């Protein structure tokens, strides 16, 4: 490493270290205050486990539109407003606000990572994974939603719900800061005859729409009054039952207590942890539960059908000049001023500036998504991002550190509808032990073929006049481990994808929604866990398949549909019944509609 790169590494490392110390201080302050000041009732109408995208949305609507009592139990801490600066998002990966999960060693993937394990970042913080995500908002193809509910809701109904969420829940905005690359990529796409889109699920390219409010990260948790409804740093161990009815939850820490729910427990702990909580509670595959001496309450395929959007493409594109934010731009006082006072500038960057959807089979629906980021992981000289992905030393030295003299960009090629499916299994009845996560990435050959076609499409994009004009060229350095293959041949691409396998952190499917008589279903199309009363799962885990794009909007949509049809409807019915015996006081308090 040259002296200048060494100096850069030193400066970046000091900054990142300082941020980590700050993060720890915030965490411990919050932990101590929550242990000292958290007040709990022993019984509520509803208990919501997890304050992520789904849990917070449901909680917000219950608080705003009903008189039901409820509590949200969140294993992570509250974080700090500095953690909401979009450009700092990646710094929370691998922090105390990340569950720090990883895959088991993969047979066909993740070879460039230590022990062939890919990192599986998931938020352990009030707001869940959306506090760590890239904020890209993609609605995806509505027909998937109709399929998930087996036709129970029409396309029109889903569209109405999205419109409702756009007007009443989401804060969406165009990106507030973009590099030269954005326009060049759109022009390149046009050169290749792709459409420029104004909707996100057709074939073509579009600048990212992001979940930001005035340049700041926005998540569904911002709608919720935290101090009143959320207990942070509370790890739910398992569910409590009376025969086949779920009656509450057992909390493991900060102290062992039981909380009860009269009307229902809503598990919104995310794709890995919802499966874990159900399995710890005796709902899951019998052989697994028997092997851990957990009494089987209901045999269901909990933990199966794990799917994820994976792909490749880190630092695949190089430039002689910087296209975008440099690490030092983040510290520039003018940029800090712009962020805090105008909600603009490099600190608002979500990373991904352009998304593209293509079909490798010439169909009208996409099978691949591109996410274009104007920086690569070599930009921080190995001080952080490399560690967050656990890239092996040898790979770093032979590949990423060889391009320090250039400026890299990332054209992530992501498989939208993988055929490979994996599983999540608890390995102990101790709730503090992480589950074994085996996504079986690339176990289906078709998945490799589709991603390889995407990499070839990236090469075509880079060869367009528009991208050549800004100095883009493909990184032709053979990837370590694949040197024996002719570069960009099919064998080379297969090797490259198996080595540099990247997840976009979109796991779904472990508590699959489906028809009650299917042996694949865990919840029915009303989100009820099959065979158990008063227990619902609502989060990414219920999605039976992946949507055609980033999944946060789809998860929010599921939560919205759950609220509308399970809670709001029930509440309206109760109000109607009680309003038949209306009192003057209720009329004054507007509990009942005026007749």
Closest distance of CB 432 from ligand FAD, Å = 10
For residues 350 and 329, give the distance between their C-alpha atoms in angstroms, rounded to a whole number. 15
Closest distance of CB 517 from ligand FAD, Å = 26
Is 138 annotated as belonging to a binding site?
no
Closest distance of CB 498 from ligand FAD, Å = 22
DSSP per-residue codes, 215-282: TEE--GGGGS-HHHHEE-S-EEEEEEEETTEEEEEEEEESS-EEEEEEEEEEE-SHHHHHHHHHHHTT
Task: Give the CB-side neighbour count of residue 424, counting CA atoms within 13 A.
Answer: 31
Task: Provide the 8-state DSSP code for 550.
Answer: -
Residues 6+ apart with CB under 8 A from 104: 117, 436, 437, 438
Query: Contacts by 156-159 with C-beta closer than 8 Å and gap 24+?
Result: 158/557
Closest distance of CB 14 from ligand FAD, Å = 24
Q: Which two tokens stand for residue 499?
A: 């080595």
Beta bridge partners of 415: 368
Closest distance of CB 475 from ligand FAD, Å = 23
Closest distance of CB 144 from ligand FAD, Å = 14
Taking the least distance from each CB to ligand FAD, the nearer of 493 and 537 is: 537
Q: Which two tokens stand for residue 332?
A: 């520039």
Residue whose Cβ sits closest to ligand FAD: 52
Is 540 annotated as belonging to a binding site?
yes
Closest distance of CB 460 from ligand FAD, Å = 25
Closest distance of CB 538 from ligand FAD, Å = 8
For residues 410 and 373, give the distance between their C-alpha atoms in angstroms, rounded to a whole number. 5
Taking the least distance from each CB to ligand FAD, the nearer of 55 and 204 is: 55
**Residue 564 CB-density burial (10 A; 0-12 exposed, 13-18 middle, 19+ buried):** middle
Peptide bond preceding 254 in cis form (omega within 30 of 0): yes
Is 134 annotated as belonging to a binding site?
yes
Taking the least distance from each CB to ligand FAD, the nearer of 50 and 366 is: 50
Taking the least distance from each CB to ligand FAD, the nearer of 128 and 345 is: 128
For residues 71 and 47, give the distance between their C-alpha atoms in angstroms, rounded to a whole number. 5
Taking the least distance from each CB to ligand FAD, the nearer of 52 and 454 is: 52
Taking the least distance from each CB to ligand FAD, the nearer of 51 and 335 is: 51
Strand ranges for 456-562 from DSSP E: 473-474, 502-503, 535-537
Taking the least distance from each CB to ligand FAD, the nearer of 73 and 259 is: 73
Closest distance of CB 510 from ligand FAD, Å = 11
Taking the least distance from each CB to ligand FAD, the nearer of 31 and 235 is: 235
Closest distance of CB 332 from ligand FAD, Å = 25
Q: Which two tokens stand for residue 307?
A: 């799917």
Taking the least distance from each CB to ligand FAD, the nearer of 270 and 480 is: 270
- Interface residues with ligand FAD (CB under 6 A)? 49-55, 73-76, 121-124, 128-130, 132-136, 234-236, 268-270, 273, 277, 505-506, 539-540, 550-553, 555
Taking the least distance from each CB to ligand FAD, the nearer of 72 and 325 is: 72
Q: Which two tokens stand for residue 351?
A: 């990373």
Residues 6+ apart with CB under 8 A from 179: 323, 324, 325, 353, 374
Is 77 annotated as belonging to a binding site?
no
For residues 14 and 20, give the distance between their C-alpha atoms in angstroms, rounded to a whole number. 10
Is 49 annotated as belonging to a binding site?
no
Q: List C-alpha distances in Å: 35 to 81, 85, 221, 224, 226.
A: 21, 27, 21, 21, 15
Closest distance of CB 580 from ligand FAD, Å = 38
Task: Sort strands 310-312 and 317-319 into parallel, antiparallel or unpaired.
Answer: unpaired
For residues 135 and 157, give the distance between their C-alpha atoms in angstroms, rounded to a whole number. 25
Contact 37, 226 (CB under 8 A): no
Task: Provide the 8-state DSSP code for 207.
Answer: E
Is 481 annotated as belonging to a binding site?
no
Alpha-helical runs (H) found in 375-512:
385-389, 393-398, 445-462, 465-469, 490-499
Taking the least distance from each CB to ligand FAD, the nearer of 238 and 407 is: 238
Binding residues: 133-136, 236, 540
Binding residues for FAD: 133-136, 236, 540
């Amino acid at each position: 490493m040259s002296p200048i790169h060494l100096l850069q590494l030193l400066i970046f490392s000091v900054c990142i270290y300082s941020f980590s110390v700050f993060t720890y201080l915030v965490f411990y302050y919050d932990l101590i205050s929550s242990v000292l000041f958290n007040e709990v009732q022993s019984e509520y109408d509803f208990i919501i486990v997890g304050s992520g995208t789904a849990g917070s949305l449901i909680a917000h609507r219950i608080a705003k539109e009903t008189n039901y009592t409820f509590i949200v139990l969140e294993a992570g801490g509250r974080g700090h407003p500095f953690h909401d600066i979009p450009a700092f998002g990646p710094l929370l990966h691998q922090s105390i606000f990340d569950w720090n999960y990883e895959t088991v060693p993969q047979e066909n993937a993740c070879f460039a990572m230590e022990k062939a394990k890919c990192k599986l970042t998931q938020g352990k913080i009030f707001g869940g994974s959306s506090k760590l995500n890239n904020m890209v908002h993609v609605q995806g193809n509505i027909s998937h939603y109709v399929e998930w509910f087996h036709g129970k809701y029409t396309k029109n109904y889903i569209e109405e719900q999205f419109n409702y969420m756009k007007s009443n829940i989401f804060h969406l905005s165009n990106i507030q800061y973009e590099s030269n690359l954005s326009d060049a990529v759109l022009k390149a796409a046009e050169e290749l005859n792709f459409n420029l889109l104004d909707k996100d699920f057709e074939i073509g390219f579009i600048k990212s729409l992001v979940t930001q409010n005035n340049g700041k990260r926005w998540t569904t948790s911002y709608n919720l009054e935290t101090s009143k409804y959320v207990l942070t740093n509370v790890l739910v161990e398992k569910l409590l039952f009376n025969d086949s009815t779920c009656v509450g939850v057992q909390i493991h820490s900060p102290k062992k207590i039981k909380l009860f729910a009269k009307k229902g427990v809503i598990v919104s702990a995310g794709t890995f942890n919802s499966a874990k909580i159900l399995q710890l509670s005796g709902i899951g595959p019998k052989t697994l539960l028997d092997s851990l001496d957990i009494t089987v309450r209901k045999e269901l395929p909990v933990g199966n059908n794990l799917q994820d959007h994976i792909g490749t493409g880190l630092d695949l594109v190089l430039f002689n000049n910087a296209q975008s934010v440099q690490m030092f731009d983040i510290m520039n006082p003018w940029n800090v001023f712009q962020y805090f006072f105008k909600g603009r500038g490099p600190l608002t960057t979500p990373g991904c500036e352009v998304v593209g959807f293509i079909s490798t089979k010439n169909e009208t629906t996409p099978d691949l998504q591109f996410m274009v980021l104007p920086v690569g992981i070599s930009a921080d000289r190995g001080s952080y991002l490399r560690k967050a992905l656990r890239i092996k030393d040898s790979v770093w030295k032979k590949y990423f550190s060889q391009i320090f003299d250039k400026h890299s960009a990332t054209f992530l090629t992501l498989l939208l509808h993988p055929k490979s499916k994996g599983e999540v299994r608890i390995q102990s009845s101790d709730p503090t032990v992480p589950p074994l996560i085996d996504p079986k990435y690339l176990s289906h050959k078709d998945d490799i073929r589709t991603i390889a076609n995407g990499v070839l499409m990236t090469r075509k994009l880079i060869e367009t006049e528009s991208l050549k004009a800004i100095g883009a060229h493909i990184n032709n350095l053979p990837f370590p481990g694949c040197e024996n293959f002719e570069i960009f041949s099919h064998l080379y691409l297969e090797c490259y994808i198996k080595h540099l396998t990247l997840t976009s952190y979109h796991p779904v499917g472990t508590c699959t929604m489906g028809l009650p008589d299917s042996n694949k279903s865990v919840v029915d199309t009303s989100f009820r866990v099959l065979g158990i009363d008063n227990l619902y799962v609502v989060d990414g885990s219920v999605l039976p398949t992946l949507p055609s794009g980033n999944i946060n909007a789809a998860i929010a949509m599921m939560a919205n549909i759950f609220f509308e049809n399970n809670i709001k409807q029930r509440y309206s019915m109760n109000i109607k019944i009680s309003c038949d015996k209306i009192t003057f006081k209720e009329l004054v308090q507007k509990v009942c509609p005026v007749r």
